[in-house]
A and B are shown apart, each in its own frame.
Chain A
């Protein structure tokens, strides 16, 4: 059982810009595509890689489902926000403001 860094993408990701994900210009496999999903959603793929990514999606229901799930995951994470501020903490922060304002008014 081997899993390979799809064409060195992870190693390259630690440096800066997207070098071509598929150096030989060939078709992406599903296993390669899942490692490129974030770069795709972030608009960080080169035009060529984006084209290959989308060409693969056109012919692959599994990867379309995967991409949908990643989008849904992002939305679900957004729903995890929204803890209310503890009233005592809020009071403390408002006290800081009043201290600051009176020091400023002098």
Chain B
């Protein structure tokens, strides 16, 4: 049976990120009740799903229940899945719907109607720019290139800085940066799963990335200033 062999040799769910053709094999396998294909999908996506569910729900057990319900929903819906979106997006959308419903029961809701913080929070504080004269709007304290970023951003400390900065974001910014930059969903997939416009999504992403950058800049300048 071909799908089983594929699933045991490689990780077909990982390949699914590459395109719809790989999705098609997985969908076909799931429809045939192929356990290996399901296990590969579960291993690939469940940590993501749990992370997303936790953003809607404060109770960890409820979040875990929502992830389980999501997989049951995937299995029950796979025969009817029309493949208008990628498999991963479809799964995320099921999760988001179930998490929203559960959050309503918990009395928590996240709305995308506002940005989660003030309307005009700049990406970089105004104190970094000249505020008058011919240089108005130019850097007064320009960013310095980070030293060996590719190496140092992988350090435990830098990762902790990123994780803390993301955890501190307003919920809708956190969801957006998580889907786009951590889980690597496309812009269209993120909008579709969250039910927001492209413009709103870009703005949330912009706010979120700007804050994480600022946290990393502070981290790099501390390290650089140290003797």
Contacts and interface: CB of A to CB of B under 8 A. Distances in A.
Interface residues of A, number: 57
Contacts, number: 180
Interface in A62-90: 62-63, 65-66, 68-70, 72-85, 89-90
B34 to A, nearest CB: 10
Interface string A27-38: 001111011011
Given A73-B216, A96-B71, A104 B142 contact: no
A2 B123 CA distance: 14
Nearest to B177: A77
A5 B136 CA distance: 14
A97 B212 CA distance: 39
Give chain B's interface secondary structure class.
helix
Contacts of A12: 199
A38 B202 contact: yes
Contacts of B76: 100
Nearest to A15: B199
Interface in B8-58: 33, 35, 38-39, 42-43, 46-48, 50-51
Contact of B203 (A10, A30, A74, A85): A10
Given A1-B131, A5-B120, A42 B202 contact: yes
B90 interface: no
A76 B159 contact: yes
Given A13-B202, A85-B47, A61 B142 contact: yes
Determine the interface band of chain B, counting residues with CB < 8 A from chain A.
35 or more
Interface stretch (B81-89, B93-101, B102-110, B181-189): B181-189
A29 B137 contact: yes
B222 interface: no
Contact of B38 (A29, A32, A82, A97): A97
B138 A29 contact: yes
Contact of A76 (B48, B50, B120, B216): B216
Contacts of B137: 29-32
Given A81-B184, A96-B72, 14 more contacts: A3-B122, A5-B120, A38-B202, A42-B202, A44-B198, A66-B143, A68-B145, A69-B146, A70-B209, A75-B153, A85-B42, A93-B42, A93-B68, A94-B39
Interface of A: 1-3, 5, 10, 12-17, 29-32, 34-35, 37-39, 42, 44, 60-63, 65-66, 68-70, 72-85, 89-90, 92-94, 96-98, 100-101, 104-105
The 3 closest A-B pairs by CB, nearest first: A29-B137, A62-B142, A38-B206
